Each structure stands twice: as C-alpha cells, then as structure tokens.
C-alpha cells in the first residue's frame, strides 16, 4: 500500500490520455496492466456507448474503435477490462434498470455480452469494478457499495455484501480497486470528486478525497493500477492520467 497525503507519494499533475478524447463526453476509463489497451464510455455516437483503444507502446496515442458487439440502443457504461485484456465487465440498462454484463475475447473478437446474475439485483446496479486478479467484484447500488469474491476466475462470484464504511457521502459510485479490495477508489458528491479508502481488517478506513487531483468541477470514474501508482479518470468530459 502506498500512503496518501503529505507523508506519502502525491499524484502527478494529470494530463490528457492521448488519442481517446473528442468534443463529446468521455468517462469511466479502465486500462490493461501493460497500459496498451483502454476501454471507456463516450457519447460520440449520440448515446452512451463503449469504446476500446489500443497502442503499441505507452508513448503512443491510442487508436480507438467502437465496441459494437457490446453496445445497444440503450446506455452502456462502467467498462472494466481485465489486466490481461481478455474480458470486460460493464453495466447496461438495455433490460430496464442497470445490470452487470460480461464479455470475453476470442482472438480479436469479443463475445456477445451475457448478464452476470450474481452481481445483478432488482436495484440499480449502476457501476462495477473488478480487481486485477479477477477475484473480487464491487458494485455500486444507489449510494451503497457491495463486495463479492470468488476463489478462481472459473468460479462464479458470491452474492455481494454491503460495505457501509465506503458510503461516506452522496453519489458514491464508479468504484475501482486493487487485489482483495485492499484499496478502493471511487467518486462521490456533486460535482464529482475522487476518493480513496484502504482495507482495515474486515472493514475500511474512512474515505478521503484525493486532494491533489480533485478540482471544483467534475472528477469522476477513477481506475487504479494494482500497485496504486497509476490512475486514469474522467475530468470535465475528458480522460486524464496521473502517476506517482
């Protein structure tokens, strides 16, 4: 764990992720462990759809295409690509309220998405986060966070259990986490601010704002790397990155 605040490492001034931003709103990014593939939501097609970007080196700009097989006439959001780039979880309201869906890659093709029953409830499952090892899921429902686990990526997740220590304020959503949910990043408030909490025994520390990244306008949809040294997030309709 890397400590936050004056006694820890501070985040660098954020810069725009090259190749992903347009005049439309982009938000909710996630990125593979090698930082060569990114997925995010965008309104550039006139609706909230999912897009994927790839590049050959971390110094290059992304080349972006629409994830048409995952998109529908409804709203798709909160895409979480796995560390190896082989699977994506996301949420969609194509069947009414927001539910969690899953797709995996075969060669260069993504499978048609299927609902993830154990991560979906009658409530509005608006955002989903998956740990880098794929063994922990976190779902935001209303203003609450729920955690689920599994012992292998071949298993199904347990039924999500509430994590009330993370419900620090209004509009708590868009979670991302490290393995075992040892660190959870999310946004809250209106306009959105970025928050972080660390696991403390069976619960979590009181979430605190990421002061060096938060602004007076919208800062949203954070996605954290496994080592907590790289962060991508949305700011005023564009996607930014920061390191420490």
So what's the pLDDT on residue 9?
86
So what's the pLDDT on residue 6?
44
CA distance to 77, 161, 213, per residue, from 125 (Å):
11, 13, 27
With H, G, I as helix, E, B as strand and everything else as coil, classify residue 11: coil
The tens-digit pLDDT sequence of the chain (244 residues) is 455 544 478 999 999 999 999 999 999 999 999 999 999 999 999 989 999 999 999 999 999 999 999 999 999 999 999 999 999 999 999 988 899 999 999 999 999 999 999 998 888 899 999 999 999 999 999 889 999 999 999 999 999 999 999 998 889 999 999 999 999 999 999 999 999 999 999 899 999 999 999 999 999 999 999 999 999 999 999 999 999 9
- DSSP codes joined into one string, 16-50: EPTTT--SS-EEEEEE-TTSSEEEEEE-TTSS-EE
So what's the pLDDT on residue 2?
53
Which pTM was predicted? 0.95
Question: HSE of 30 in the Cβ direction (CA atoms, 13 Å)?
Answer: 29
- The first and second tokens of residue 91, run together, are 């949420």
CA distance to 69, 113, 115, 167, per residue, from 103 (Å):
9, 5, 9, 29
Q: Which residues pair with 107 in a beta bridge?
A: none
Superfamily of domain 15-243: TolB, C-terminal domain (2.120.10.30)
So what's the pLDDT on residue 124?
87
So what's the pLDDT on residue 199?
96
- The first and second tokens of residue 162, run together, are 């509430």
Confirm if 67 and 50 have CB atoms less than 8 A apart: yes
So what's the pLDDT on residue 142?
85
Distance CA 137, CA 117 (A): 13
Give the dihedral of Cα atoms 113, 114, 119, 121; nearest 10 deg.
110
So what's the pLDDT on residue 123?
85
Residues 6+ apart with CB under 8 A from 145: 138, 139, 162, 163, 166, 167, 172, 175, 184, 186
With H, G, I as helix, E, B as strand and everything else as coil, classify residue 179: helix
Number of other CB atoms surrounding residue 143 within 10 Å:
14
So what's the pLDDT on residue 4?
57
Write down the domain spans for the chain: 15-243
């Amino acid at each position: 764990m890397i400590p936050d605040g004056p006694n820890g490492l501070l985040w660098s001034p954020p810069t725009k992720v090259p190749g992903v931003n347009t005049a439309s709103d982009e938000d909710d990014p996630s990125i593979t462990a090698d930082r060569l593939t990114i997925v995010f939501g965008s309104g550039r097609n006139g609706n909230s759809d999912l897009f994927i970007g790839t590049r050959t080196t971390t110094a290059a700009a992304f080349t972006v295409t629409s994830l048409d097989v995952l998109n529908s006439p409804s709203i798709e959001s909160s895409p979480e690509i796995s560390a190896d780039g082989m699977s994506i979880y996301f949420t969609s309201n194509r069947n009414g309220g927001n539910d969690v869906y899953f797709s995996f890659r075969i060669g260069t093709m993504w499978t048609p998405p299927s609902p993830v029953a154990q991560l979906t409830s009658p409530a509005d499952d608006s955002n989903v986060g998956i740990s880098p090892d794929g063994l922990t899921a976190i779902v935001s429902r209303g203003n609450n966070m729920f955690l689920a686990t599994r012992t292998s990526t071949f298993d199904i997740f347990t039924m999500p259990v509430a994590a009330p220590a993370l419900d620090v304020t209004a509009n708590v959503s868009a979670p991302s986490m490290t393995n075992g949910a040892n660190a959870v990043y999310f946004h809250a408030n209106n306009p959105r601010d970025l928050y972080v909490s660390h696991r403390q025994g069976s619960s979590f520390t009181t979430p605190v704002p990421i002061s060096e990244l938060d602004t007076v306008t919208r800062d949203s949809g954070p996605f954290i790397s496994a080592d907590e040294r790289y962060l991508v997030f949305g700011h005023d309709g564009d996607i930014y990155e920061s390191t420490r």
